[in-house]
A and B are shown apart, each in its own frame.
Chain A
Amino acid sequence: MNKARTNPFNNIAMHGALILYTLIALFPVFVILINSFKTRKAIFREPLALPDADSFSLIGYQTVLKQGDFFLYFQNSLIVTVASLFFVLLFGAMAAFALAEYRFKGNTLMGLYLALGIMIPIRIGTVAILEMMVATGLVNTLWALILVYTAQGLPLAVFILSEFMRQVSDDLKNAARVDGLSEYAIFFRLVLPLVRPAMATVAVFNMIPIWNDLWFPLILAPAEETKTLTLGSQVFIGQFVTDWNAVLSALSMAILPVLVLYVIFSRQLIRGLTSGAVK
């Protein structure tokens, strides 16, 4: 065993730094969470205090659940996020496989073209996207959002996944070809399981921005029945008065589904890493 690695001081310093970072990162979430359980006055009087018998109140949650159709917003957000992730991973992996595996004219050029989206933010094209959605009649449907988010996520997905797929041994793919597996079978049954950690990484990278996005739901799908959670929460933020109880409660609830998704993906990530370690 390496001595430097087992040095207790190093160990403490490392964990100390990590714990400090965790505290800093979790602090805003913690403040939101405690304040969502307090009365409006208590939030402003002592923002950092824990809710006690006097200041405890569920008024925020009650407002949220009464006002608007919050479960529908939840459902919309979840459908958009999961569907977008599914398409990003499916198409991203397929494009990455083609780029990594096959020699064809313009392979590098195609790779660069697909990576262009990493450098150019999709929001620049908002007006054109809106025009397209109007022309195709997709405005105020969840499909509008799913399509846009898929486009937004693909460049990075292709970029990351093609790098990982290049690392999958050629011999392995050739062995499968000799054994009579079709190219689709090689892709789905051999290569995809081997790049699962990369898939999880891409999923995590894409999930949070999609879930939190306000821009495209506001522009492409502001109708009541297609509102996402982030957009739905905006009703509590007014120009003059903001219902902080409701905002904080809505945000607290919005964390939960992402947390669940994240746990699912990160477990894949760890499992993938350890199974790859012993080749």
Chain B
Amino acid sequence: MTALTLTNVNKSFGEVHVLKDINIEVEEGEFVVFVGPSGCGKSTLLRVIAGLEDATSGEVHIGGDLVNNTPPSKRGIAMVFQSYALYPHLNVFKNMSLALKQEKQSKAVINERVAKASKMLNLEDYLERYPSELSGGQRQRVAIGRAIVREPKLFLFDEPLSNLDAALRMNTRLEIANLHDTLAASMIYVTHDQTEAMTLADKIVVLRDGRVEQIGSPMELYNNPVNQFVAGFLGSPAMNFMPAGFVSEGDPRTIGVRPEDLRLQDDGGLSATVQHVEHLGGDTNVIAEAKGTQITARLFGQHAINQGQTVTLGYAPERAYYFDKEGHRV
């Protein structure tokens, strides 16, 4: 059974057309990440799924039911917000149990579910505390706990990690991944961070300007991007783009080469001046300039390369991607 089906969903705010003919399917138990630059409509799409915004046209099915006119609380979803959105005047227990109380669940059920969720998230010692007495990571766990206790058909995450610091972000990312394994629930996760998308997703939906650019597994998108935007958006550091004229005279296309596919090669076709070197220990990122185009090379291991030095870079021809003028892959 499909957890979510979007059919030709459109959304306009007055004159502004924010979502354009979105068609997406999410299978039961799948972890789907919506990714795209800010302003691409990914959060609006999530709000349409949640029922916080109405779709201007198109159909939203959750668990097989048409939910276009169903209020958020009846859609069988739970949502985790970027700003945590905990009720400041309620303690952790009450924050987590409010939705169940609204559903008129019995006290025994409420207590059992909150206990289970708080155990899963290591929140047992904090049930009596108020949100203002918790750290950022704890607050985010409470927000996740609030979603878990509802046992929804579909979890919605709206950039849940962007308010956390780097170390905490990685831990929480792992926790969310574990959670997905334990609960085996369908999840939709919105982010602008391609690392989160690559690490968490079973399936990534890349959005740009309210349109779906490509849908596929992380490796599919990485190895086989349909256009220059997807190729440039996934992977870190981002793919290098340069006129194909650099290597073969008169070629109007654009070549894309991932930084990790570039290597130092004396007979390589690219001669570049090093502008900056990032020594990361395990890797060395070389940012160089060739004929006015900036090129990043990610070299494995440690290299003694200095600023201002000229290097010759090469790549295996089968690792290069070609794009036409409109950015389509050719």
Contact between A171 and B99 (Cβ–Cβ < 8 Å)? no
Chain B interface size band reads: 20 to 34
Task: Report the separation of the CA atoms of residues A180 and B78 in the bound assembly, to the nearest whole angstrom.
Answer: 10
Give the complex CA separation of A279 and B88 in angstroms: 8
Interface residue tally on A, bucketed by range: 10 to 19
Q: Is the CB of A179 within 8 A of B73?
A: yes
Q: How far is the CA of A98 from the CA of B318 in the complex (A)?
A: 60
A-B contact count (CB 8 A): 59
Cβ of A172: which chain B residues have Cβ within 8 Å of it?
Answer: 83, 85, 87
Q: Which residues of A contact B81 (CB under 8 A)?
A: 171, 174-175
Chain A, residues 189-225, CB within 8 Å of chain B (1/0): the string is: 0100110000000000000000000000000000000
Whether B87 pairs with A178 at a CB distance below 8 angstroms is: no
Task: Report the minimal beta-carbon distance from B311 to chain A, rounded to whole angstroms.
Answer: 48
B64-100: which residues lie under 8 A (CB-CB) from chain A?
71-74, 77-79, 81-89, 98-99
Complexed CA–CA distance, A190 and B86 (Å): 11
Judge if A278 is at the interface, Cβ distance under 8 Å. yes
Specify the main secondary structure of chain A where it touches its partner. Answer: helix
Q: Is the CB of A180 within 8 A of B73?
A: yes
Q: Smallest Cβ distance from B171 to chain A, in angstroms?
A: 22
Residues in chain B near residue A179, CB distance under 8 A: 73, 98-99, 102, 146
Q: Is A177 an interface residue (CB 8 A)?
A: yes
A94 interface contact, C-beta 8 A: no
B88 A178 Cβ-Cβ under 8 A: no
- What residues on A are CB-neighbors of B52 within 8 Å? 174, 177-178
A181 contacts B by Cβ under 8 Å: yes
The listed residue with most A CB atoms (<10 A of its CB), out of B74, B82, B88, B102, is B88
Query: Among the listed B47, B71, B85, B132, which residue makes an inter-chain contact with A175, where contact means beta carbons less than 8 Å apart?
Result: B85
CB nearest neighbor in A for B158: A171
Ordered by A's residue number, 14 sampled pairs between the chains whose C-beta atoms are within 8 Å are A171-B82, A174-B81, A174-B85, A175-B81, A176-B87, A177-B51, A177-B72, A179-B98, A179-B146, A180-B73, A181-B73, A181-B102, A190-B87, A193-B89
